[in-house]
Structure 1
Amino acid sequence: MTDTLFTLPETATIPVLGEDRTYPIGRIFCVGRNYAAHAAEMGNEVDREAPFYFTKSAANAILTGATVPYPLGTSDFHHEMELAVAIGAPLFRATPEEARTAVYGYGSALDMTRRDLQGQAKDKRRPWDLGKDLEQGTVFAPLTRSADWDGPAGKRIWLSVDGEIRQDASLDEMIWSVEDILCHLSGYYHLRPGDLILTGTPAGVGAVTAEQSMTGGIDGLSQVELTLSPAE
């Protein structure tokens, strides 16, 4: 085996409730505009023909409870509360039943966004990377195994900033269900254990500033928390 020139920082792994071993983060796929009310508040129409996606780097993922600096290059930093789906088996051109079986677990997650940079990219028809794939910009709570959670139906999803509720919705409002997303996405990728899918955010997104704290939850899952310190 050839030695590498240098050692990369270790990628975070996600705790699993009731499990001694952690879930390694592979790829992170994010579904855009999966709640009609959120699309509307951002001035967008919903494309109901098929889901669309962007990706975030595993190296930029962190765990709940962290305190991180307000990010560089933005003056409009937004919270987005999401349901995360963790894949536990290979999945390719899946049927709905195969998609359900391949889910290892579920968790609460934050997709933090430099909204001003995302908006600039949209206006110029450029990729969203600077707006979305920022350092310490994807936050995961511990996972709950799928066998230990009775699924998304009817579950409340919410987020508060300094104790004030900002986002409050039901997972039933998702345009594309978990099975829909996995069936569609597995038509373009060989999904595999370690892949995580963030399934979109409901209405109520908004800016946060240094010294503010966010707490988000989904019924039956562990909460996710993040605190912002002053910019570096």
Structure 2
Amino acid sequence: MPTINATPKSTKDGIGIATKQVTTIQVQSPTIEILVGGPYRSHGEEHTYGHVALRVITPDNEFVYDFGRYNGESGPFGQGRLRVWTKFTKYIAGENATGRTTTGFVYKIPAASAANINAHFTSLIGNRPVLKAYGDHMKEYRLAVDYHALNNNCTTTAMTGVRVAIRDLDFDVPTHNIGTGMSFVEKVGARGAGWPSHIFMPADLQKMLENNPKHRPDKVEKYGGAK
């Protein structure tokens, strides 16, 4: 937070404040927040997979990019739908309503990187129509590539945006890519289908971010929790 002491005349003329007056100028750096939702229980059913979304914040706007199966499908496949939220409070209210805890890993990034992330997701949407809209705070689109539990899910899609700004945030993938949240049968099936070389489960991503010695988050936030 730089402080300007406006004593010299040139400084006084340049910023238009009285001599000896002290003005504090705070510059908000753009940030990304990787939002990792944990497991939760609803109507007696355990939801163990978790969820990941990516929040991009600049002094002018914010977006939450939230990819998943939002057409009622189950199983490993489904329509790939991207929800773009412009009000974080609306997004996180829905996550909190499940009773899950969401952990946000915050990283400062250059303004150009924030713009490039937004451009990346805009390119994924292309000219596809809005399928659903909730007020002025969320629009939903079906993307060209559909959902795949191992290779194109909430975690992998969010991380394509993250890598635009922090290329090497995927640290020590072999150690953490263990399929946390999957059942034994699901893990056997995934290995038979070709276990990915990238992290694809939210809980594995969280562990990797918590233990990354190269890129420590600037802040870690906790949202929600047990109802």
TM-score normalised according to structure 2 size: 0.26
Name whichever structure is richer in strand by fraction: 1
Higher relative contact order, structure no. (Cα contacts within 8 Å, ≥ 6 residues apart): 1
TM-score normalised according to structure 1 size: 0.26
- Name the larger-Rg structure: 2
